[in-house]
Amino acid sequence: MPKRRLTSESPWGYPIALLWRGSVIPLILPNVLFSVAVAIGVSYFYLAVGLDIAIAGSIIPSLSIVIGLILAFRTNTAYDRFWEGRKIWTTMNTNIRNIARVIWVGIKEKPHSDGILSFSAINDQKLRAINMLLAFAVATKHHLRAEYGTSYRDLQGLLPEDFVPCKSESNLRTQYINHRQHIRTDKNDWVIQRDNSNASMSLPLEISYQLSLWINYVKEKELIDIPYQGQCSMALSNMIDCFGNLERILLTPIPVAYNIHLKQILTMYCCILPFTTVRDVRWLTIPLCGAVAFTLFGIEAIGNQIEDPFGFDTNDLKLDDFCYDLMLELDYIVQTVPQDQSSIFGSPTTPQVPKQQQQQQRNILIQI
């Protein structure tokens, strides 16, 4: 199956300036209409009624400089968050690819003996671990979208049947952040103990612990060399680091006071502008103020959209596509990539896996 394109194009080929889907026009339309209404009122009272309400335009340059600086800072900050989220996700994907490569080609397949897994059992565990790697990425996507738990279509079949996730699917840590419940809890709740009913952990972190335990297990069984074990442990640590950085972007939004003040300044500017232009451009004040409001509120709305790049908006990161592409890559490893050097050079002394068994292995990865 070919990879899906991560960019959208108009099927009719009309100019991008005429596109409605993906634009911020629906978001800014009320503000633009309000600014136009103010401009209509000012123009009517000055030109039709004859009421002299025009003011000097000398204050506009000063306001324009301030608004330009604030908007530039707002947009740059929002895009930095968007771009950093994309870079961190790519780093996480790279570490998942590295672990999958080491698992597939670095874990030995020893013949069956006492205490040593059989050839089939080792391959099943490899596939199980690769599924867990994909589950880490998918669970991270859901966590960033505040979708907790495991009851999602793209997670079904990736986690082992005996995997028991954290019982707190509502994520108590997020509740603490939102409602400050940690301030009102009893002091004993802060003590680390085995019978703490409020214990909670994010699903990606649970998966990382399971993978770390499995890597230690195959090392104990001498199925993986120490350098490979070190690579897997380092990559797992990097994945957790990426997960923490993604949480940092999600849980550290731009302060609300800044957004409110910026919106107030833009509204004030668009309301003052018709008073300064009606004397010179007369009825053209109406379309002029509409164009200015469209420009300023549009830039501000773009910043609001991309500051949280993990949602479902058209301009957000395509996390579903990223996970789908990762699934295709891991599926290709299982189906095509040989597991030892002899498979490449065709050594006749190494027993080959029967084709029927290979096909069973290929069908284990669940399509998202």
Spans of all domains in the chain: 23-183+199-339+350-362
Within 10 A of 288 (CB to CB), how many other CB atoms are there? Answer: 16
pLDDT band at 1 (very low <50, low <70, confident <90, very high): very low
Question: How far is 264 from 83, CA to CA, in rounded Å?
Answer: 28
- Own/partner long-range contacts of 123-126 (Cβ < 8 Å, ≥24 apart): 123/353, 123/357, 123/361, 124/364, 125/214, 125/218
Out of 56-60, 140-144, 361-365, pick the least confident: 361-365
Return phi, psi of residue 254, to 5°: -65, 135
Question: How far is 199 from 193, CA to CA, in rounded Å?
Answer: 9
pLDDT at 336 over 50: yes
The string of pLDDT tens digits covering residues 89-135 is: 999 999 999 999 999 988 876 655 555 556 677 888 899 999 999 99
Question: How far is 248 from 85, CA to CA, in rounded Å?
Answer: 10
Residues 140/256, Cβ–Cβ less than 8 Å: no
The string of pLDDT tens digits covering residues 156-209 is: 889 887 777 765 455 444 444 444 455 555 555 666 766 666 667 889 999 999
pLDDT recorded at residue 99 = 95
Question: How far is 336 from 277, CA to CA, in rounded Å?
Answer: 69
Element (H, E) at 207: helix 203-220
Q: How far is CA 357 from the centre of its chain?
A: 37
The string of pLDDT tens digits covering residues 274-303 is: 999 999 999 999 999 999 999 999 999 999
The string of pLDDT tens digits covering residues 36-65 is: 999 999 999 999 998 999 998 888 888 899
**Mean pLDDT for the stretch of residues 130-144:** 95
Question: How far is 367 from 310, CA to CA, in rounded Å?
Answer: 22
pLDDT band at 215 (very low <50, low <70, confident <90, very high): very high
pLDDT recorded at residue 168 = 47
pLDDT at 312 over 70: yes
Quote the tokens at residue 310. 């993990």
pLDDT band at 235 (very low <50, low <70, confident <90, very high): very high
